[in-house]
Every structure is written in C-alpha cells, then in structure tokens.
C-alpha cells in the first residue's frame, strides 16, 4: 500500500505550485476530493437516500464539479504562471490520456449492453458525450488550458492574471444577463453543454490559478491561524447557504454551474480544506490511511457512469431498488477496485488513466 501511495504522490506533484513536501501533507484537500468524488457518483447513480437522516451528508453535493475545477487549476497553477514546454506537455497528457482511454473504454463496454454506431464514439472523443457524460469535464478543462496557454504565451504573468480575471467577470455577467445560455441553448445537446459549461468553468479555473499564488502562504500559517480561517470559512458558508435557502430563490439560467453562489461556496470549501486543523496531524498510519482511501479519484470520476449502468443491471437482477445511496456506494467501491487493478499494471501511461 505504501508503494502505491508514494507513486501516486509523485504523480500528483508534476504540476503543483506548492512545495512537494507541503503538498504531501494537505490531508484536508485529499479528504475534500474524496467527499466530492462520492458526491459526483451520488449525483449520477444515487438519486434517493436509503438511510433516514443521511441528507445532511449531501449538503455540499451541488459544489462537486466547481471544487474539482478549482483544485485542478490551483494545484497546477505553475503550468500557467510559469509555463514551460515540459509542464505543458505533462499537463496535456494528464488530460488527454484518461479522456481518450475512458472514451474508448466506455464505447466498448456500452457495446455489451446495446449496439452503438462508430460516429457516437467520435462524438464522445470530441465533446465527452453521450456515452460517458462525466468526460465533458476533461474536454472542458483541455479547452480552458489551451485558451489560457495562448493568452499566457504573449503576455506577462501580471497581464495574464488581469486578462483572465476580466474574462471571468465577463463570463459571470453573461450568466446573469442570460447571454451565455441564449447563445448556446439552440445548439445540439452535446455541443451546447460542452461550450456552455466551458464558459461557466472559466471563473473557477481563474480563481484556482489566483489561489495558487497564495496557497503556499496559507499552508505556512500556524495552527491557531488555520483554525481561525477554517472556522471563519465554515461560518461564512453557513450564512451564505442559509441566505440562499431562505431568502433567495433566483439562480441564473445556465448549464448547471452558473452563478456567484456556487463560486463563493466552492472557494470557501477549498480554503477550509487548506486550513483544516487535520492537516497538522502527523500520525503516519492515519496519513497513509487517508491517502489510501482517497486514491484513484480520477479513475472513479471517469468510469462511474458506465460502471453504474452495470451495477444498475445487477440491482435489477437481484430485485433491488436502483438509484439510491446503496447503489452509489456499490458503484464507488466497484470503481475503486477496478482502479486499483489498473494501477497494478506497471505502466505510467496506464496509471495516468486512474490517478
């Protein structure tokens, strides 16, 4: 187990703005990724709850993709603030390899259940739809990376940050004016969601890069300062969620991730993860356990929809109710096991499909 954890940690450090030694210690971030990965699975295959009162566990479910997008660009901020050919190549491969692998794998697995035309595979490999809808995330991330690299190629770091910040403000304004939705809503389903969500994700990507400039500072604060920021973040989240739930019913029309509400809570969740007092726990067994249970987030994210279809088939065959938290847990565990088996293949490109 320790060998797997060590290899995964080294893989995760290829594009980080935090010192390697510090990055290994952010247990709060690892736990947040684990929680949000399960929220993604629950969103797609766990529609209803099995256990009474478990709803409180799902309070942050709407923020899973925003948090992942923020963390992706935060942890790879150096790829944009100080890009090199090697960093850009690594980052591109880290996106393309799982995107293509799981696109083709989804096509082959779905062929077992029903006949699918070859153009459907091409559609999947371009937009992330329709066989494995979770892959839209990687497609969108790739387009944003390319856009940001183009902007960075002819600007200084300071000008680049100003430009992407202005672009993000423009994207948010377009959401509240309805421009973003009206521009793309009449396009084919897969195209409108890919383009529409790309514009919705730009603010999250930008904030992630901006946070990457202060993340090392947050990590170097002492425990008392971490506790203050952690509790403050929690208090702000509670207040904002209460106001949103009790007083504000309006939400801009878009492609699921529009609006300042999602942005603010996602930022507070990431900050709370960086300042969580649990990061100061030095017990080696505990830290290794956390790294172990939070392994293979990428693999789980990429395969859960397709594997969920087979889990659904098994549940129906066993006369069990589908699309509930039990199905979500079963899917998550199954995806973890498959990811672990893939990790045992001693090839770095194969391993990049799941971690």
Residue extents of the structural domains in the chain = 2-351
Angstrom distance (rounded) from CA 237 to CA 306: 34
**pTM across the whole model:** 0.89
Backbone angles phi, psi at 252, to 5 degrees: -60, 140
Angstrom distance (rounded) from CA 104 to CA 339: 16
Beta bridge partners of 324: 48
Tokens of 151: 């902007």
Contact between residue 332 and residue 326 where contact means Cβ atoms under 8 Å apart: no
pLDDT tens-place values along the chain, 355 residues long: 444 444 444 444 444 333 333 444 689 999 999 999 999 999 998 776 655 656 778 889 999 999 999 999 999 999 999 999 999 999 999 999 999 999 999 999 888 878 888 888 888 998 888 889 999 999 999 999 999 999 999 999 999 999 999 999 999 999 999 999 988 888 888 888 889 999 999 999 999 999 999 888 887 888 999 999 999 999 999 999 999 988 887 888 889 999 999 999 999 999 999 999 999 888 889 988 898 888 899 999 999 999 999 999 999 999 998 888 889 999 999 999 999 999 999 888 899 999 8
């Amino acid at each position: 187990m320790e060998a797997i954890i060590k290899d995964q940690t080294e893989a995760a450090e290829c594009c980080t703005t935090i010192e390697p030694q510090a990055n290994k210690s952010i247990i709060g971030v690892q736990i947040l990724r684990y929680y949000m990965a399960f929220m993604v699975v629950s969103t797609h295959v766990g529609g209803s709850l099995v256990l009474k009162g478990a709803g409180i566990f799902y309070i942050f479910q709407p923020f899973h993709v925003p948090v992942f997008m923020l963390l992706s660009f935060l942890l790879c901020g150096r790829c944009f603030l100080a890009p090199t050919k090697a960093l850009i190549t690594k980052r591109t491969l880290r996106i393309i390899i799982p995107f293509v692998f799981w696109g083709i794998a989804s096509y082959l697995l779905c062929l077992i259940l029903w006949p699918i035309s070859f153009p459907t595979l091409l559609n999947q490999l371009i937009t992330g739809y329709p066989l494995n809808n979770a892959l839209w995330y990687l497609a969108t991330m790739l387009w944003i990376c390319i856009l940001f690299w183009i902007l960075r190629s002819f600007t200084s770091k300071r000008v680049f940050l100003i430009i992407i910040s202005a672009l993000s403000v423009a994207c948010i304004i377009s959401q509240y004016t309805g421009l973003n939705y009206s521009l793309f809503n009449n396009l084919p389903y897969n195209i409108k969601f890919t383009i529409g969500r790309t514009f919705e994700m730009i603010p999250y990507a930008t904030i992630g890069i901006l946070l990457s400039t202060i993340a090392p500072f947050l990590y170097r604060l002492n425990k008392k300062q971490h506790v203050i920021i952690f509790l403050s973040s929690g208090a702000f989240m509670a207040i904002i969620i209460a106001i949103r739930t009790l007083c504000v019913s309006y939400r801009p029309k878009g492609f699921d991730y529009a609006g300042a509400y999602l942005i603010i809570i996602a930022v507070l969740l990431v900050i709370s993860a960086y300042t969580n007092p649990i990061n100061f726990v030095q017990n080696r067994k505990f830290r290794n356990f956390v790294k172990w249970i939070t392994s293979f987030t990428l693999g789980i994210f990429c395969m859960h929809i397709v594997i969920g279809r087979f889990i659904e088939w098994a549940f129906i065959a066993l006369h069990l109710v589908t699309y509930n938290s039990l199905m979500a847990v079963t899917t998550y565990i199954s995806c973890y096991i498959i990811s672990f088996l893939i990790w045992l293949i001693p090839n770095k490109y194969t391993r990049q499909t799941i971690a």
